[in-house]
Structure 1
Amino acid sequence: MLYPTRLRPALCRPALFLLILTLLLARPGWAQQNPTTPSAPASVQLTGQVVSSTGQPLAGAAVGVEGRKLISASANSEGSFLLTLPANEPVVLLVSFPAHEPQRVEIRSPLTEKNLLITLQSTGKQTSKALRARQKKYRRTGE
């Protein structure tokens, strides 16, 4: 029987085999992957905790990377934070919290340094001016 609109089935199998073989050979990286040498990760996750000099967690402390505005985090209610950093380059963290001295923390190798404990010293100054102004406004307007 003749197949006017289709190729003969006997011709399709070798053509399909050659097509698959060509695709596999066109990507030499597929055949040469070595599972014993993992590639280095491009980024690493750094965790830590920000506490006061008395050991109390500082919820809402700002943690950022010097020179990179897009890499920053805020500490949660336990003072813990999580940052995604480039794996192979040293960075400097800037840590701040109101009424505490800001601190710079140098991270030489983000791959090896994990679970930081950053202690901020109190400045002794209270930021109660803004709180008192807000209380006065509340008494006047109820907002």
Structure 2
Amino acid sequence: MDTDAICEDRPCSVAYEAATLGTLYWRAGQLDLAEPLLRQTADADAQARADLGHLLLATGRRNEAVQEWGKGVVDSQPESMVPLANLLSREGDQAHAADPYERAYELGDPHAALNLALDLYSDERLPDALSWARRASERGDEQAKAWLPALEEEMGGGKPR
């Protein structure tokens, strides 16, 4: 494995290389090769933990996925916070999705703010949705930037009608 290409922006280690390989196997659909590597490295690599959660969910192990992503939430890893919140949101539990979205946003993930805005919008909490959409837009989320004018128009320039 060419560690120079992989490790340009962070220190390399055997664990990081194994996590990267596990992620590549996961994305290539080679789950039998991916899972052991992702399990071995989940505690050391945030992306490995997130990908392990995705793999578990994709193979029908929802509770294990939630448990794995929950560890990422405890470890302040947006990589796990967002998929956990997305799952909760898809299942109709927007109330429990809000906290991981907010925390992921606070840790630098602007798209988490957009996801929260969309949940708030679907709950008809338009002022809150607008606030979170603006936050996402201000931090550079392109989808939020595209949606914001229509949302502001719907709200009459940012005030509820």
TM-score grouping bracket, smaller chain normalisation: under 0.3
> Comparing both structures, which one devotes a greater share of its residues to helix?
2
Q: Which has the higher contact order (CA 8 A, sep 6+)?
A: 1
> Comparing both structures, which one devotes a greater share of its residues to strand?
1
Higher-Rg member (1/2): 1
> What is the TM-score with the length of structure 1 in the denominator?
0.22
